[in-house]
Each structure stands twice: as structure tokens, then as C-alpha cells.
Chains A and B, each alone.
Chain A
Amino acid sequence: MPLAYFLRTALYEQCSAFSLQLVHNWYEIHPSRLHTGDDTMNTLLPFIVGAIGALAGAALFARSFRGKQRAVVGTAIGAGAGAIGALLLMLPLDFCMFDPERKTADVIFGGILIVVGFALVTLPTRALALRFLLPRPTIMRGESGAGAYRGAVLPWLLLAPTLIVLALFLYYPSLDTFRLSTLLSRLGAPRTAFVCVDNYTRLAVDSDYINSLIITLAMSAAIVVIGLTLSLGIATLAFQPIKGAKIYRTLLIWPYAISPAVAGVIFLLLFNPTGGIINYFLDGVFGFKIGWLNVPAVAPWAVIIASIWKSIGYNVLFYLAGLQNVPNDLLEASAIDGATAWQRFIRIVVPMLSPITFFLVITNMTYAFFDTFGTIDYLTGGGPLSSTTTMMYRIYQVGIQNNDLGKAAAESILLFVIVIGLTALQFRTSERQVTYGA
């Protein structure tokens, strides 16, 4: 109990300090905003948005509860959740994007934030309401099984250390990133300035940012597709029962043990336009050189090659494990039926490996988005002509090199949203094609 009390007090203090600081920061720089109360529109806005949210929430829940028990209670909860959701992101921002001097892009962004807040609150609430308000079929209750915890205290107590660590070191800092993304802020500055959603909306017209988005998607696609194809090919070869196969397999996994930064340095030496080994070879044998690092059309390929080389060991490792689980009887049966080796590979091996491929697509995509940073930093530094400036590298340039924390925070939140979205999309689209088990 004292611990819970302590935590709640600490949390409360932290939250109030957080909101106080927000309010403080905003009004410090924009004292004029203190007088927005004179403006009828701005005073009414929270009520209007809240009411619309409540109506939408009620409608949503009424639909879900139609023809079921306790529909009235459900609808009422829906109205509450809808109102809270619509205001969730708006109240901390004080509806700043609807101020008269704001641009259309800000208003649209404000609308999106209202919808996002609404979804964030109503969807989980609806799931909970459907679960707890309606009588559950007995078969769903898992408590009767052996090994299940009785009561709610013990499981939560056992989970508490993990949750506390996550909350303190992951969730709280990420909440702070949201706050930071609404500010103009530099490390060491005596003050910050509230800029509403400018850090987000300016990105929509920033050609450099859009460019980095395209580069990130293109490079990630290349790293995932080429990397996985190559890994499957190598794994298939290394899986053949030949002399010394174990040695080959071990050697193939080595690149994975090297850090992305070291990979960057190795490839810097290889790709160097003047003194590099690859160009020395090309010049000696074919009589031409390639500007690996100083031609914008080529440099991304240097990064892609280095990144694929770096991740290939990991992919091969998983494919080798997967190949061992492809049932031999299926292959033999199809061989007897007259299937060629290629047909067996495409029709049996590849589908049997689909769970592993799916897993590798997700991990490789995360790698391509976040972990290519070290390679890029050493190999190209984002250049030439920003042709290797991925979103992640740009965040480093803006936040660390240029010390512009607010803009970097906004960009990192967008990157986070994009990666979450892509992963969710993959789960929805690929899961149907993935076969788990025969």
C-alpha cells in the first residue's frame, strides 16, 4: 500500500509538473494567448469538440451494443469515452491550431489529431466494455486451468518491476518527446518557445523531408527484398550436404557479429572513390571507376550493399533453421510425382518457410529504418546531395548536429508512426499468406 501510494503521488506530481511546465512554457512566450478567453469561438471550441466526440462515441457504441444487453450503459460509456478522446490531444495543445492566424494545414492537422485522440480512447474502451459489460461465455474463462493465478493482485505485483521500468524509462520519455515536438528548443537554451504544430506541418512542404521519406522507403525495400532473396539463396546452398558445410555456415554468420559502424568503416575503405580497393580492381580489370560515394545515383547502392552484407548472416541463420524443418517426405513425394528441383523449391520450400520470411521481413525492415544509421554515418554521412539521408539519419542531423530538439522530436514521432503503420499493414496483408505448420 505505501508503495502504491508513493507511486501514485509521484506519478501525480510528475503529471502536474509536466502540465504546469507545458502551460508555463506556452504562456511565457505567447502571453497574448492568455487573453484568448475573450474570443467566444475559442471558449466554445472545447465544448463543441467535446460534444461532437460524445455524439460520435455514443453512436459507435450504440452500434456495437445493438440488440445486446446493457446497451444504454454501453452507449453512455461510449459518449464519455468519445468526449475524452476528442479532447485528449486538444486540451494539452489548447486548440492552438484553430487560432485565427493559423494556416489551413494547421487546421487540417488539428482535425486529424481530434480523430486520432478519439480512436485512441474509444477503440480500447469499446473492447473493454464489450468484454466486461456483456456476460462472458464460461468457456472463455481461463482461471480454472492449473497454473493460473487467482485474483488480480499477485499477477500485477509480479509484473510491477517490469512495468515500472518501462514506464519510467520508456513511456515517460516518449511522452516527453510529444511535449518537445510542440516546442522550439535547443540544448542549453535558457528558454523554449511554443510553436503549436509547426514542427509537423512545416514538414509537409519541406522537400528535403519528403525526399528523405522516399529514400528511406526505397532503400528499405531494396534492403529487405534483395537481402532476403540473397539470404535464401545462400542458405539453400549452405544447406546442401557437402564437405565442410559446417565451416561455410559458420563463416556466413560472421558479418552479423560486426557493428553497423564497423561495417561502415570497412565499406568506406572498399568503396573509396580515390583509394578504394573496389575501384582499383574495376580500373585494373575493366578500365573504369564508379563514384561510389560522390555520385548521388550510386551512393544509396553503396549503403544498400553494406547493409545487406551486414544483415545477411542473421537472415541465413534463420533460413538454415527453417530449412531443417521442411518435411522431407513432402519433397520426396513431389519428386516421385515428377516435380523438378526448382518446382519443389518454389512450391514447397518457399511456402514452408513463409513464417520465417514474415518474421525476417519485419526485423529487416526495422533494421533498415533504424540500424543502418551507423553504416550511413561512416560511409556517406547522408550525402552526396542528401541521397543517403534516411529519416533516421535526418533526425540525427537535425537534433544532434544542428541542436534543434523540437523539430527532431516531431520527426522522430512521425517516423515512429510510420514504422508502426507499416508493421501493422504487414501483419494484416501477409498473415493470410503465411502458413504455420503443414
Chain B
Amino acid sequence: MLAWTIYISFLGAAALVLLPAENRRAARFTALLTALAGLVVGLTGAVQYERQTPSGDVVDLVHASWIPDLGIHYHLAADGVSITLVLLTGIAAVAGVLFSWNIQQRTKEFFALYFALIGGVYGVFLSFDLFLLFVFYEIAIIPKYFLIASWGSTRREYGAMKLALYSFVGSAMVLVGLIAAYVVSGAHTFDLLELAKHSFPAPFQHWAFLLVFVGFAVLAGLWPFHTWAPTGHVAAPTAASMLLAGVVMKLGAYGALRVAMTLFPDGLRYWQNEIALLAVIGIVYGGTVALVQRDIKFVIGYSSVSHMGFVLLGLMTLTQIGLIGAVLQMFSHGIVAGLLFAVVGRMIYDRTHTRDLGELQPMNLNALAPFAMVTFVIAGAASMGLPGFSGFIAELQVLAGAWSVFPRLTILAGAGILVGIAFMLRVWIKAFFAENDTPKQAVHLEPTTLPERAGAFLLLGTTVLIGLCPGLLLNLISPTLHSALFQPLLKGGLP
């Protein structure tokens, strides 16, 4: 069932290519339909999984031999963690289409690339064969490049190329690690579950873990490999920024958890402290840099680095609660960052043609674009991690997990949350609530459209829903992290 999320996306992309170029309406509705179908399949699959597999174990979706010469299988499977991220992808995809409703130029090509990316992302989350996972991971790189280079804004070609090369170099590191693991295990298989049973020699794990983890974490915005993130987010068109922050950064974090940490637990414990330190530096650094940016997209771009720092910190705690927090934070940040980018890119930039806080200040946006203002304020509150939103529970769990392992770093990370509140307040004040002596300019902004409202409600609703009933997702995530696959990971950490 869940495997259809992948196929639907690629079929949607193919259908979009075949549509006539003039008919933008058809392209938009095809895109919306594809995204909705993916989301519905994802939701159904999630409900089914939760009912049928209370143990949180891995459930096979498809398992067929693909390239027998190398022991490669077409193995799609799912567990609570991957289903959570599939749901995130589904929601982000629908919202992204809604916020791209106004794309006029080469509409069908835009959406075709968009769904090629989405299909690759679904594929990564559901692959349990490392070769297959890598294939999907690389498939996701190329559409990102073209989405940004063709439809982007500020320094788009630079941002796109930087992102593509960072991703490709990261995936090259991963590839070396995977091939080495395949050879060293001697098991003639790329199956994740099979390789996870193999205990690799410790010296090998030390370097292989670092290689694979960092390779994936490049995409998760691990400091100091995060520099693609702000430029990429700023250059990207709205929907692509939403996907980049919402989903693509999660590919990195997911890969780090699913592949690097699962295969090389000894290597993980060897580097645990160093990576936790980098994660906390990312939290504080990202927040501090966001504090002084003039372009709102840069603020959100750096805030993404900061929030993804929590994910990585949570992973490094190796505690039950920390890992749960990390996965929940992936989901939460995906929704909230997507929403923030949507407001800035679609509701503000497309109408005012500026994202510069200094230029927005005299515009009285709270009167001109009340819907944007309200959405941004709520989304900002969610991003700060206020109670009632999904981010609160996630960050709380990460910090609770981290407290028992790295008390000093936890204090720093807590300070990072304060910085997060500060930069968001600064944007609120400058963009929306500045006191102006200048008389109101006679600018009229195009009113908010229905697709924008629908997208905003979808994302806002999700973050509030998870904030109020976190059990909905925790019932998926928590049993999986208790399952056998994750036990070797948790043995080293505190209970």
C-alpha cells in the first residue's frame, strides 16, 4: 500500500510531462491530485500500520530480487519512523502545490520536477535495501537543482549549484561507506536488516560511521557543512524552499539514523560527543546568525540550521526519549519551516517583491496583508517552541534526553531556544508591527487566494493538532524505537 506513494508521485510526474504546455490549469489540478493521492495513501498506510503492528517492527511492503549478481533487492518496507516521515512528505507536498498555484512560467515542467523530487523522497523513506535507498537519494538531487536554477530568485544558479554539489559530495561519502560495508561484511547483500545483524570490527566502524554519518548529515545541515542551506533556501522558489526545509533536510537526518547509526553502533558511540557538540554549535550559531539577517528567508534558513541541530542532538543522546524527540522534531520542523517559507515566499515576496526587513518595515504589512501576518505570527510561535505546538514537545524531549547525557551542552542548547525566540520576535516587530511615522502608503496588495488559505490551514492545523495530541504520532514513533532494530543503539546510552 505505502509503496504506492512512490509510484503515484513518479506517475504524476510522467503525466505532467505529457500534458500540453499551454494548459496550466490541467497541470495544477493534476499536481494537486497527485499530491493528495500520495497523502491519502500515506495516511491510510499509517492507520493500517498502527492497527496491525503495535510492536513497531519493520513491515515488508515489497521484497523482490533486483540485481542478483550483487545481491541487490528491491526491498521496500516501513516502520513507525519512516511512516512519520512519509506523512510529513505527503502534507508538505500538498501544501507545496497549493503555494505554487501562481507559477505561470513552464508550469507543467515545474510540477513534473517537483514530483520527481517527492517520489525520490518517499523512496528514501521506504527503502530498506541500501542500494535502493541510495538510488532514491540521488534521484532527489537533480530535480532540486533545476527547480532552484530555473524558477528561483536571489542568486539562483549559485544557490542551486552549491546545493547540488554539497548533496553529491555528501552522497559520494555515503557511497564509499556503503560499498566498504558491503565488502567488509562479506554477506553479499545490501539489505539493511541483514547488514545490521553483522557486527563490523570496531576500527572499521570508527571511520565508516563518520563517513556515512557526515555524508548524510550534510543534507541535515550539520554545522559546519550547513552553508548550502541558507543560500539554497533563499534562492529556491517557494515550494522548493518548503520542500528543502520541510523534507530534504529530513532525508539527511533520516539517513543518518537509519543507515549510519543502525549499521555502525560502535562508531556512533566513539563519535557521540563530538557530533553532539557540532549539533549544539549548529543550534546556537544558526540562531545567532539568524538574529542579524535582513532577508527574512535568510532568517528562516538559518533557523532551520538551528532547529535541525535539535534533531541531531536528539539522535546523539542515544536515549529513548531523545530519539523520539528527534523524530518528532523532524516532523514538526518540516511543517513549521514549510509554513514560514510559504508565508514569506508566496504571501509576502510574490506581492511586495522584497524580503528585506528594512524595506518591509515602512509598509505596514499588518494592515496590508492581515492573513499573512496572522499566519506568520502563529507559525513563528510554533517555531519558537511555545506549548500547544508540535515543536514544544519535540524540543522538550530532546532536551530531556540530552540532560542525562550531556548536561553542559544541554544548557547551551536551552540558550539556543532563547535565541530562537529573539530572532523570531525581531522579524515580527520589523516586518509587521513596526511603528511608522510615515503615512500609510497607497499600496494595494493582491488579496490572499483560496489555495494559499487552504495550504496555510493544512500546515497550521497539523502543527496544532500534533501539539495538542502528540499521541497521534508518538504511537507510531515510540514502539518502533523500542523495537529490536534500535536496541543495539540504545544499549550504550542511559535508559
A binds B: no
Binding site for B on A (CB under 8 A): none
